[in-house]
Amino acid sequence: MRGWWQDLTDLVLPAECGGCGRPRTVLCPECRAALSGAVPRRVRPVPEPRGLPAVYAAAAYADAVRAALLAHKERGALALAGALGAALAGAVRAGRAGIGPLLLVPVPSAPWAVRARGHDPVRRIALAAAAELRRTGVPARVVPVLRQRRAVADQSGLNSRQRLVNIDGALEVVAGGARLLAGGRVVLVDDLVTTGATLAEAARAVRERTGPEGAGEETTAVYRRAAWEGREERTAGPREERAKWTRDAPGIAEGNAPAWPIRAAVVAAAPDSFEMNRN
């Protein structure tokens, strides 16, 4: 595990660019441009897993961007968190719908991975993104309410179907987490999306605890009503408390869910996911 003196050394005396290896810089101008120079865009993995929210990415996962993410995650280049967080903040802005505070919900790393790395890379990037959003006038905070409720295999060598099976039902909202999610618009955040299986599972876990807000623009009020009626008897809390979520949203079934869809934002996505633009 890394010591605090190693973290401080990385912040004060960066050895090389996290993207290309150029000496004496955290991230050179060329690599910074590759990370944050393009306009963040909506991405869609192929095949797209059921329940995946609208996902926005800052950059394609290739070359310098890939190197920077791996340096931060696997080699503990903590000084890269600021640049990665700024890129994530851009993706969050691109997917922002309406006004109001944003709740950035990091996809949790496996406990063994956090121990091995000495830090939680997604949470660290999320904190940097929230700070960047607040700096530019967007109210945002990190709400780390997701956790793994069972062990999952390392997903790096799995295909899209195997990842769906591996992650299915593996995440949950911690006790009391639903209350924390009541204060704004939920944005799931991760460093990378490839197949979308993990983000789809994270969205399922949030919906299960907060109510049937739907899976995105394609989800209809009819779906939300059916989903709510199916779990109404299991939902705690007075009717008045549940009603406040939908008081100003005609056509949406009464429930304890926000009337807006969950969104997701990532630093990078597989290059081919940028090529699809289905409406």
Neighbours of 190 (CB within 10 A): 26
Read off the pTM.
Answer: 0.77
Sign of the alpha-carbon dihedral angle for 78, 83, 84, 88: positive
31 alpha-carbon distance from chain centroid: 23
Backbone φ and ψ for 191, nearest 5 degrees, come out as: -80, -30
Q: How confident is the model at residue 244 (pLDDT cuts 50, 70, 90)?
A: very low
For residue 141, give Cα distances in angstroms to 92, 120, 205, 258. Answer: 12, 17, 19, 17
Per residue in 17-30, pLDDT (tens digit) is 999 999 989 999 99
Beta bridge partners of 265: 56, 189
Per residue in 185-225, pLDDT (tens digit) is 999 999 999 999 999 999 999 999 887 553 333 332 222 32
- Which one is predicted more confidently, 15 or 208? 208
What percent of the chain clears pLDDT 70, i.e. is strictly above it?
72
Q: How confident is the model at residue 231 (pLDDT cuts 50, 70, 90)?
A: very low
Helix axes 121-135, 81-95, angle to 10 degrees: 60
Distance (Å, rounded) from C-alpha 175 to C-alpha 66?
A: 35
Which two three-digit tokens encode residue 172? 């949950």
Q: Give the DSSP letter string of the chain.
A: ---HHHHHHHHHS--B-TTT--BS-SS-HHHHHHHHSSPPEEE--SSPPTTPPEEEEEEESSHHHHHHHHHHHHS--GGGHHHHHHHHHHHHHHH--SSS-EEEEEPPPPHHHHHHHTS-HHHHHHHHHHHHHHHTT--EEE---EEESS----GGG--HHHHHHHHTT-EEEPTTHHHHGGGSEEEEEEEEESSSHHHHHHHHHHHHHH----SSTT--HHHHHHHHHHHGGG--S-HHHHHTTTTT-TTSPPSSS-SS--EEEEEEE-GGGGS----
pLDDT at site 137: 95
Per residue in 90-135, pLDDT (tens digit) is 999 999 877 789 999 999 988 888 888 889 999 999 999 999 999 9
Backbone φ and ψ for 126, nearest 5 degrees, come out as: -60, -40
How confident is the model over 82-88, as a mean pLDDT?
A: 98
Question: Tokens 């591996």 map to which residue?
Answer: 166
Distance (Å, rounded) from C-alpha 187 to C-alpha 131?
A: 15
